[in-house]
Every structure is written in C-alpha cells, then in structure tokens.
Homo-oligomer: A and B are copies of this chain.
C-alpha cells in the first residue's frame, strides 16, 4: 500500500485500547505515514500512561498525553450548563460536549507538529464522527480527515482480532469476546449503547450502569448540600471553593451514591436514525437542578423565557457537533449575557435518584416578598393596576369576539 493519498503525518485521537491501537497500526500501513498520538484525560477514569507506552511500542515518536479535565469543565461543560441544556428534553449531552475539545486539541497538535491529517476512531453510523470532523474542518479547513471505520475492510470483530494478531497488537483476555455493549465516558457522564441494549422495549440490566448505584441501593437518608454560583457557574460545594473539575468530580460522587442521573433514552441522531442509549450523569443532573434553581430568583422573567426558547436550538447545535460554528457562538453570547447576576447559593436534598431544591438565596435576588405577599404590602403593588393590565391585554380578543371570532377563533 502506498501513500498515494499524500498524507504525511496524522494526529490520531488515541485511547490506547484495542480499537485505536488497530487504527494506529492500520494508519501506519495504509497511509505509510507518520502517526502522532494524542491521548487526553477528560475524566473517563482510565490510566493514560499505558497509552503512552503502547504508542512507543508502535514506534510513535510524537506522543501527546494531556490532562484536559479543567479545560473540559470550565470551557465546555459550564458554558453549556448556563443554558440548562437538554437535548430532546432529557439528554445532558455528555458525549457531545467532549468532542469539540478533543477536535480542538488534535488540530492544535497537528498545527504544532506539522501534520496534514487527523484521524479518529468513531464509527460511520454515529454522531461522533460528525462532531469530530465538523470541529476539524472548522478549525483547519484544509486538513485531511481519516475515518478508518468508514474506510477499511475490518468490518467484523473477527477481522479486527485477526489484524491485531497479525500485527502484534496485544489483546487482553476480556477483549477477545465482544463487549455486550459499548461505553463512552468522561467527567460529565458515561453512556452505554448497542448490542444487548438495542431493544427499547426492554429496560437495561443493572450491570450496564458504570457510575451510579440504583436508587434502590442508595442510602435511606437524604444528603443535603449547598452549591454556590458566581455569574452562572458553580464555584463552591458546601461552602468550599473548588476548581471546576474538582467540583464536578465531587458532585459525581454525591450523585453516584444517591442513585442520581440515570437515563434510559431513545434519541434521534444527526445522521437520521433513532438510537437507544443508557446515560449516567450524576453530577450534571445535580448541577442542572442547582443552576435552574439559582436562576429562578436571580434571572428576569423575560430573560429566562428567551433563554428557554432558544435552548432547544442550542442543544441541537451541540448534539450535532456544531460547537465551533457562528450560530453557537451567537447563542452563547446571548446566554452569557444573561448570567451576570446568577450568583448566590442553592440548597439541595439528594435522595434515591431525586435532586430537590430546598432553598435558594442571592444578593441579586429579584424575588421581593414585600411585593408578592398576601399580607399588607405597604403600597409596593397597586392592585388596581391589574384591571388596566387585563383590559388592554384583552382588547384584541374582545375586538375579535365582537365580530364573531369568540374564544380566540381565527
């Protein structure tokens, strides 16, 4: 096989696992090019050093191993949570939000080492290929993208293992048999999908869950916590200021033990099919309730409604891999503008899968007990104003009804 494609140097997103090891070797053979590996810690919970050693064994000269957890949470997870983002009403986008960071670092490394290509290990049916590649192209428009799963002929497990064997790629015993489902993980979530999970009529077995106990197994006593926010981002847990990644890590642990953040979902992929995933987002689930609760007293009504109205579009963009797009940047500007006063403290009760807000306070609170009270409000609100308010809001409806269009008939 010759390098007819003209690829000279490729940066591979490399986990050190079997699949990306096969890809590494395959790239060396198929493209006869230099491979640079990039292994990132986004909180997936795996050792990174083995990946370095394996890469060395394959003769890789430029090996990048990086801990990106703080960047991941600070620059990707938190901005997304400012919008209370949910895809299709339920999914916290744990996989989607990690892809742009990986793509960005891959491209930065490609620029640094003079590589002309990048490669990833995502399959041809999923969203991740789209997310990686839209990121690549947006950041380096002339980059050559290699997606081995769409190109090669290792289309079955057997062929893959054969290739591994022929190429002295170590296959651990547990990888010989096929995994019963596929897992993706980072500091925000883990997802499981495929194979035994492909029938949406059947609930997931308990063994599927990676990072949460079941609500049933969680403690019988609730845990109460506080989260402090500054400008829309969480900064402290139980009064202790923490870095973004540390805070999320601790929330994950709190979520884990209290059975929080499981989701069994059928979702719609950007590539046009429905798929079923089991998600666990323990810390993120706590954070969503915390942030929304913080906003309830600090955010203006119409500011909040505007955010809610654009959120589905924002979520869709992230899901589809369009983090690095003009429209995501524009929506982010709108969202970030709204967060300047989202500062204060939220109290939450965690109990067997439930995240319950039991208190919120803020120096910027717009909640005014003096106005809303059933008691004497000392003139803070003039009840007579309500009549004019209603009369003019009703005017167009009355004018319509007067000519026979009653009840809002058209």
Contact = CB atoms under 8 A, between A and B. Distances in A.
Interface stretch (A12-20, A27-35, A303-311): A303-311
Interface stretch (A1-9, A129-137, A166-174): A129-137
A175 interface: no
A147 to B, nearest CB: 7
A271 interface: yes
**Centre residue among A137, A199, A395, A409 by max chain B CB count within 10 A:** A395
A88 B304 contact: yes
A323 B407 CA distance: 8
Contact of A408 (B304, B324, B365): B324
A400 B326 contact: yes
A202 interface: yes
A303 B316 contact: no
Given A392-B389, A394-B134, A88 B407 contact: no
A325 B313 CA distance: 19
A113 interface: no
Contacts of A84: 89
A133 B395 CA distance: 11
B312 A296 contact: no
Nearest to A397: B138
A99 interface: no
B306 A327 contact: yes
Contact of A222 (B134, B216, B329): B216
A53 interface: no
Interface in A197-214: 198-203
A300 to B, nearest CB: 4
A54 interface: no
Interface in A358-386: 358-361, 364-369, 371-376, 381-386
Interface string A329-353: 1110111111111000001010111
Interface stretch (A55-63, A236-244, A272-280): A272-280
Nearest to A398: B141
A176 interface: no
Nearest to A364: B403
Contacts of A304: 88, 268
Contact of A356 (B264, B306, B384): B264
A319 to B, nearest CB: 10
Contacts of A364: 403, 405
Given A271-B386, A390-B130, A392-B272, A138 B406 contact: yes
A395 B138 CA distance: 9
Interface in A139-154: 139-142, 147, 149-150
Given A274-B297, A308-B88, A408-B324, A386 B129 contact: yes
B389 A271 contact: yes
A373 B410 contact: no
Contacts of A44: none
A272 to B, nearest CB: 3
B394 A272 contact: yes
Nearest to A374: B194
Contacts of A365: 200, 403
A230 interface: no
Given A125-B374, A330-B337, 12 more contacts: A104-B407, A137-B397, A141-B399, A202-B359, A216-B222, A264-B356, A303-B326, A326-B338, A329-B409, A338-B410, A385-B388, A385-B391
13 contacts: A130-B386, A137-B397, A200-B359, A266-B293, A272-B301, A273-B381, A274-B372, A302-B322, A306-B330, A333-B337, A352-B354, A366-B396, A385-B387
